[in-house]
Amino acid sequence: MKIKTYKNILLLAGLTWLCFSCSDFLEEKSYNADYSYYKSATGLDALVVACYQQTRWCLNSETQYAFEDMGTDILMIGGDGSHRDAFGQFLSNAMTSQNGNISGFWNNNYRGIASCNLGLQTLATNTDMAEATKNIRKGEMLFLRAYYYYELAIQFGSVPLVTVPVDNVKTDFTRSTQKQIWAQVISDARKAWDLLPWADASGKVTSDFGRASKGAAGHLLAKSYMFRYCDKYVKSQTDANMNEDRGGLTTDIDSVIYFASQVCKFGPGSTSGSNHALAANYSTLWGWNPKTGLSAEYAGPEIVFSINNSSTYFWNNAGATEVNTNGNQLHLYYTGQLENYPLSTKLENGTTVTLGTNVGLVRDLMTGRPWRRLSPTPWYYSETGLYASKNYETGKLGKLIDSRLYKSHVWVEYCNNTARDYKWAVVTNNAGTFDPASIGMVAGTQKYNVGDTAMLLSTEDVSTRPGPGTKAEKLVLARAKEKYWLVPMQSVKVALLRGDVSGFDVTTNSFPPFVKYLDNRRAATNDQAGFRNFYRFRLAETYILLSEAYARKGDFTNAAAALNVVRLRAAWKAGETKSAHFWKFDGGTYAARTNSTETDLQVSPGFLGSFTGDALTDFYVDEMGRETAGELNRFDMLVRYGADYWFNKVKACDYWVSNDNGVSGGAIKKYHRFRPIPQTYIDNVNPPDPNPQNYGYF
């Protein structure tokens, strides 16, 4: 979808909403129009497209990653950025109603809602558009309104519920209850489900990529019903002020199964018209090769709803104007700083051991522009963390059998600088001695040339290597032995003080970049605007929702069958060569490098049935993390189960959010499960809302 703003309609309300009208999906056009333009079929279609405009907010600003991924169990603050205090550490002077990111998120979604309200009203009286097309366009706008309210309900809980256009000064807003908001989300999405067609086999709806479909509505319904079903878990929090009433019904879990199974074409939905299917290989979704870049952007049947960007540079220009929206900037935020990495290791006694002067990596379109806003938590890499053996029935570690760990990141960087200077050397310390001659190398000669591996990142903790010496001494020796610079993430410095954060050889700054957004099609190395489409809903997520719903019902047979569809895709296939980490650092063998791990990944009904209570919740929360890490949905997943679950999970895994270690300074509280209502809204409401603000922010 290539959207261009062509008219701004200012709604003079306390919420100061803006409604943007845009071009069609296929090419950018400009119009000077008044409301009479919308009486035509062309004008109405442009108004419908305008309703999609605000979905791009999550790609072209620094808001969505802060709301969804920062300060969670798997992603913490990175080495740079301005949102760390509020969303990464929950500091009281930053996570406030005056925070511009808070008001930005609020205003963006209400702009989208305003567009939908205007479009729905206009459509009702339009006589120029064919009735069948009108029904589809109505379904699109109902879906989008449900989507925007879903976003608001997850973050703020109770919000104003407005379902008609506001075209005059209006200030008498009040916040509706969560129960009312979720009822509206589900009502709109169900109507959309009835009106929308399935995407065709090529992923198009009415000949366009990016439009909402029956599959998108079904996926949103499955997520919404699951969130409302979890009402049963959120009514009795340890702080009664954080109890929630989402209006959950006992039948909600059946609704999750119904809609998810229709989208997945599974079990009771096996005869649906869905054309959705998983991509054959997890890597296919991202199409990234660290040597050659983006091979092909996936646009296949796994995508249930995508937020599209133009492939034309002008429309994605980094300086946002009325005719472009910054493009997809997510490639900036999940990328570690590996360029110009110093070839030094700091010992526990404060001294530094330097093994070279130039790693041979400079910034280019392949390595990306490393804004490093978020970095994986130590728990993410830990053997008791996201890929822990408890998540696999054969009891093996995920790093040995689950391809998603290695296919989600760039683990190898290739030398792109002739000035590289890293030579073989004899190294001796308390951990041992290494002489390059022992492996046929000559001390004083360069380890690699342009095009060779310059850096390899791993999850290893070198302190577990046998023999004497401190962790840092073992790290020095391990680095000396390799023909590239080794960065084992569980061995480099864990940044504690803010001054540590942006230094090299620390977890917050130098980490394996996520491949999911990297884009070498940008015009120049430092261009912020990327062209990738964003997969807002993927079928793998639908399958995991379906599996959890069956498990909550006690039907572990169907739960296992649904989950195994995703797990089999996550497995290494017979003949597929695993990452070299498998046999060099993770405990596998070279002989097993092409063996299938499909048996190791599959789950049985008995295995799933062994999880109860929070353990079952952890299992599905972590499965979603392995499948969709970095895809702007983690906060959503955690708070589904209430403030207590979210608080305990995040505090246990992300050391930045609390000050339990006495140095990081985090200040997370359970009331942070909800974001503060923006002061810009509160100050303009008249008469004043008797319940203007969320608990804890007064």
Q: What is the pLDDT of residue 322?
A: 44
| Mean pLDDT for the stretch of residues 523-527 | 91
| CA atoms of 157 and 40, how far apart (whole Å) | 38
> Are 533 and 210 contacting, i.e. CB atoms less than 8 angstroms apart?
yes
> Are 31 and 57 contacting, i.e. CB atoms less than 8 angstroms apart?
no
Helix (H) or strand (E) holding 215: helix 214-229
Q: What is the pLDDT of residue 661?
A: 82
| CA atoms of 574 and 589, how far apart (whole Å) | 15
| CA atoms of 241 and 282, how far apart (whole Å) | 42
pLDDT tens per residue across span 558-569: 999 999 999 999
Q: What is the pLDDT of residue 313?
A: 54
Q: What is the pLDDT of residue 29?
A: 45
DSSP 486: E
CA–chain centroid gap for 626, Å, is 11
Q: What is the pLDDT of residue 494?
A: 87
Q: What is the pLDDT of residue 406?
A: 98
Q: Helix, strand, or coil here: 315? A: helix
pLDDT beyond 60 at 663: yes
Q: What is the pLDDT of residue 19?
A: 34
Measured CA distances, 414 to 13, 68, 289, 418, 591 (Å): 54, 32, 11, 12, 26
pLDDT beyond 70 at 16: no
pLDDT tens per residue across span 407-466: 999 999 999 999 999 999 999 999 999 999 999 999 999 999 999 999 999 999 999 999
CA–chain centroid gap for 65, Å, is 7
Q: What is the pLDDT of residue 319?
A: 52
Helix (H) or strand (E) holding 433: strand 432-434
| Mean pLDDT for the stretch of residues 680-695 | 95
pLDDT-derived band at 162, boundaries 50, 70, 90: very high
Residue type, 388: A
Q: What is the pLDDT of residue 613?
A: 95
| Mean pLDDT for the stretch of residues 390-417 | 98
pLDDT beyond 90 at 636: yes
pLDDT-derived band at 316, boundaries 50, 70, 90: low
| Mean pLDDT for the stretch of residues 667-694 | 96
Q: Helix, strand, or coil here: 535? A: strand
pLDDT tens per residue across span 189-231: 999 999 999 999 889 999 999 999 999 999 999 999 999 999 9
DSSP 100-129: HHHHHHHHHHHHHHHHHHHHHHHHHH--SS
* Tokens representing residue 236 in the block: 């009795």
pLDDT beyond 70 at 665: yes
The pTM of this model reads: 0.94
Number of CB atoms found within 10 A of residue 545's CB = 24
Q: What is the pLDDT of residue 6?
A: 26
pLDDT-derived band at 495, boundaries 50, 70, 90: confident
pLDDT beyond 90 at 238: yes
Mean pLDDT: which of 171-175, 317-321, 386-390 is highest? 386-390
pLDDT tens per residue across span 140-157: 999 999 999 999 999 999
Torsions phi, psi for 691 (to 5 deg): -130, 70
Mean pLDDT: which of 205-209, 285-289, 643-647 is highest? 643-647
User: Which neighbouring-strand residues pair with 446?
Assistant: 423
> Which single residue is written with the structure tokens 């689950």?
402
> Which single residue is written with the structure tokens 């959705």?
276
> Which single residue is written with the structure tokens 């509206």?
184
| Mean pLDDT for the stretch of residues 542-559 | 99
pLDDT above 70 covers what percent of the chain?
Answer: 93
pLDDT-derived band at 3, boundaries 50, 70, 90: very low
| CA atoms of 345 and 457, how far apart (whole Å) | 15
Mean pLDDT of the chain: 92
| Mean pLDDT for the stretch of residues 52-81 | 94
pLDDT beyond 60 at 656: yes
